[in-house]
Chains A and B, each alone.
Chain A
Amino acid sequence: MKEEILRIENVIRKVNGITYLDNINFNVFKGEIMGLIPLDNHGKSQLIELILQNVPLHFGRVYFDDQLVNYYEHSSMSKNRVSLLEQDTNLIEDLKVTDNIGVLNQTFHDFIIHNRRLRQETAALLKQLGIVIEIEEYVSELSILEKAIIELIRAALNGAQLIILNELSNFLSIDELSYFQRLLVHYTKQGLSFLYIANHHEEAFKICQRVALFEKGRIIKVISAKDFSTAVLEPYMLTFAHPPTVSEQNNHVGILKCQQLSTANLETLNFSVKKGECLTILDMDNRGIQDLAEIISGYAKPRSGKLIVDGRAIPFTQKRNLLPDGVAYIPENPVQKSLFFNLSYLENLTFLLDRKLDRRIIGKKVLNSIKEEYRNLVGVEIEAPDLWGLEMQSLYNLVYFRLLLYSPEVVFIMQSFSQADMYLRGRIIQLINMFKEKELAVVILAVSISDTLTVTDRLLILEDGKLAPQGGRINFANSD
């Protein structure tokens, strides 16, 4: 007989008059990895909040460990024994691993911290789990995978009965994810349950016993493991067709050449990308692409090697942004990182124009001409006095259109589909294809392959800071 850890029954949750959860029904069993695929992000954070804490409901009931903990009449605001694991760590970065595991948990009640005992207990625990992490290390020094592992261990020690895993593949590479999933399976055998939120069914199907599809604040389908197949999902998912194979007709020479580039985590990296081509660099251990991103955005410089753009080698005498050299960078989650919400749409759109035109003041004529040109693409949004009321798709449009207006030679995109729901992913694919049509070279830096395959022409696999041998290269332009 299966025991239910979480049961959400007919829950309607409204915040400021907006219905975020609309008659939602689902449950998680003890020792189960339950998948949740949000087709759109509407209501996702409200659902997570509801599971973590017994917040007021418009209607419905929430049972935790078979006890009614929250219902329409009375919401106690108490917290459930649930932990959330996501990209932003909840660990204290300035404390050591032992302190985070041993001291910062609810089972620790001593008045005096016995360091030796803590070290022994932590070492024994990690050994038992077969994990090799330096326990005296500060959390800030750990890799992303190590932080996730420590957070998982701490949650289990804290007595969490359910752990919400929010889009692991956004911050763990394929190898890291596979390792972490083995750890999840280990904990399920001990009765711990997981709500595994993933944007891709391929990822969820590998590890989950059941998967629920979530759209418009409703659970629209629950699929059991034996029914897992792409065919079952077809009526629910958008299909992103692969664009016409660009490289077949592309006779351009490499607009960007990376020669013998070395950093702390990269070893003599060599690649080139042509105009109108999309290249994906898939990093199996999530370190090399971070170095590459830092170089392009001007936070670091390489130890050695060259980046040649349109025949000109970029001088790395000091750390600097490569935008004036024709290399643009779109960070992960670019809306939060690169837009100015209090500025108007047009001001955001023309933000880089002064550098492009090498003028401090942009004339009204130019601005009006841009406005009219982009009105055809974005409609009345071009008149928006600020960005606060705009939809996520419009904000992504703005990020990409801004670069389109600047027209660099090469665009590096970090984790292009990170935290994007299905509809937004569809739009990002269109935007990248638009870059390609405008003859921009695109380099996607990714830790998970997922939707990048729908836009990429070539894939390079980075392992231990080195490009994998020829077997690791797949030319999608020539493959069907």
Chain B
Amino acid sequence: MRRKKGFYLMDRIFLVFLLMVILLMTLFFCFVPFALKQGTYLLVFLFAFLLATVFYVTYRWIYIPYQESNKTLRLFADGYIFKGVFDLRIHFNHELFLAMQKFREIIDTKELIEGSKKHAEYLALQNQINPHFLYNTLEGIRSEALIEGVEIIANMTEALETFFRYTISDMDKLATLEEEIVNVETYCTIQRFRFGEKIEFKIESPEDHDPEIFHAKIPKLTLQPIVENAVFHGIEPKMGKGLVTLKVLATPSRLLITVSDNGVGMAEEHVHRLNDQLRGASLTYIKKDKETGGIALLNVNNRIKLLFGDEYGMYLYSKAGAGTDVEISLPLIL
């Protein structure tokens, strides 16, 4: 890591402090013997009190904030936090504070989100295929299927068309939870053509839930990639029937969605590594090979953190043979 030439600000504070201590010590050795000689201890106590106050104030006002700010910067450098670095409790100085604010403005979060999105397959589709051409073609196939009386093809085409209409459109806006769930159901309908009754999809919410929570706004395409992940990595390799459950729960400030599958689960080390990656927002995963898995989760997690802050995101619970639960934490936006 490159180091700036010369002294850092806190090094200078330390040096000034050291100088102050030397001055005080000199004063102490000259002044205290004089006071003792005069037979008054009051000035000695006063001196001791002032010295203690200087130490205390230096510790509380300089040393602790310095350590805290350093820790935050270290966590940023290590990839634990992203936006938190702009919200230091105490900044090093006013100019640095202004610079950080400017930096926050310059970093266009949207661009990062775009960067994150580009990685996703749906965006690749959007770039390569003219959506209207795709919809018209699918509609054409559906009409031909209905004319020929092959209902299953018509239904399959309709589901695919509905899925693409939702997926390849206006990625920037937030969707309602209800729209997201409908999209997941459409996705499951398409998958059922392939897997038959092997996949079951279920939605659960507490008995006393407020129906309004289904109108809560969440980033578009938050749920489908996670369900897709559950189907391909959890249920497809499993013998027997698979179940994907979506649990929704709201608190006054958060929306908690858990996508659970009863699939093959993951090895402990893999879960641990993924959770470490999900803890912070980072775009490094984009460079990784797709085969390493978990990219859909990291992609969705990144979008959540970049949009809403470091305190939201995803967490994974899994064990080999015990299925996987993906818990998504979002701000409640009604």
Contacts and interface: CB of A to CB of B under 8 A. Distances in A.
Interface of A: 1-4, 9-10, 22-23, 25, 29, 59, 61, 66, 72-74, 218-222, 224, 232, 235-236
B325 A222 contact: yes
B251 A2 contact: yes
Contacts of A22: 272
A221 B325 CA distance: 8
B251 to A, nearest CB: 5
Most central of A9, A73, A221 by chain B CB within 10 Å = A73
Given A1-B213, A2-B206, A235-B265, 19 more contacts: A1-B210, A1-B250, A1-B252, A2-B249, A2-B250, A23-B272, A29-B251, A66-B252, A72-B71, A72-B72, A72-B80, A73-B69, A73-B84, A73-B88, A218-B272, A221-B322, A222-B327, A235-B321, A235-B322
A95 to B, nearest CB: 38
Contacts of B319: 220-221, 235-236
B75 interface: yes
A221 B253 CA distance: 23
Size range of the chain B interface in the assembly: 35 or more
Interface string B310-331: 0100010101111001010100
7 contacts: A3-B251, A23-B279, A59-B279, A72-B84, A73-B84, A235-B319, A235-B322
Most buried by B among A3, A4, A10, A221: A10
A220 B317 contact: yes
Closest 3 CB pairs of A and B: A235-B322, A25-B315, A235-B321
B275 A73 contact: no
Contacts of A25: 315, 327
A73 B66 CA distance: 10
B279 A10 contact: yes
Given A235-B319, A235-B321, A4 B254 contact: yes
Interface of B: 68-69, 71-72, 75, 80-81, 84, 88-89, 206, 209-210, 213, 247, 249-254, 265, 272, 275-276, 279, 311, 315, 317, 319-322, 325, 327, 329
Contacts of A72: 71-72, 75, 80-81, 84
A79 B253 CA distance: 23
**Which of A1, A74, A219, A224 has its CB near the most chain B CB atoms (within 10 A)?**
A1
Contact of A74 (B68, B279, B315): B68
Contacts of A66: 251-253
B265 to A, nearest CB: 8
A191 to B, nearest CB: 14
Nearest to B279: A10
A4 B311 CA distance: 15
A411 B319 CA distance: 40
B109 to A, nearest CB: 21
A4 B250 CA distance: 10
B280 to A, nearest CB: 9
A22 B272 CA distance: 9
A128 B275 CA distance: 48
B290 to A, nearest CB: 25
A23 B249 contact: no
Contacts of B317: 219-222
B68 A73 contact: yes
Given A3-B251, A66-B253, A74 B89 contact: yes
Contacts of A1: 209-210, 213, 250-252
Contacts of A218: 272
Nearest to B317: A221
B264 to A, nearest CB: 11
Contacts of B251: 1-4, 29, 66
B68 A23 contact: no
A224 B275 CA distance: 21
B320 A235 contact: yes
Given A23-B275, A235-B319, A59 B80 contact: yes
A208 B276 CA distance: 29
A374 to B, nearest CB: 34
A249 B265 CA distance: 44
Nearest to B88: A73
A114 B24 CA distance: 55
A73 B311 contact: no
A1 B319 CA distance: 30
A424 to B, nearest CB: 20
A3 B251 CA distance: 5
Contacts of A2: 206, 249-251
B245 to A, nearest CB: 9
Most buried by B among A25, A29, A222: A25
A72 B68 CA distance: 8
Contacts of A10: 279, 315
A218 B272 CA distance: 9
A154 B265 CA distance: 45
Task: Identify which of B68, B71, B75, B88 gathers the most chain A CB atoms within 10 Å of its CB.
Answer: B71
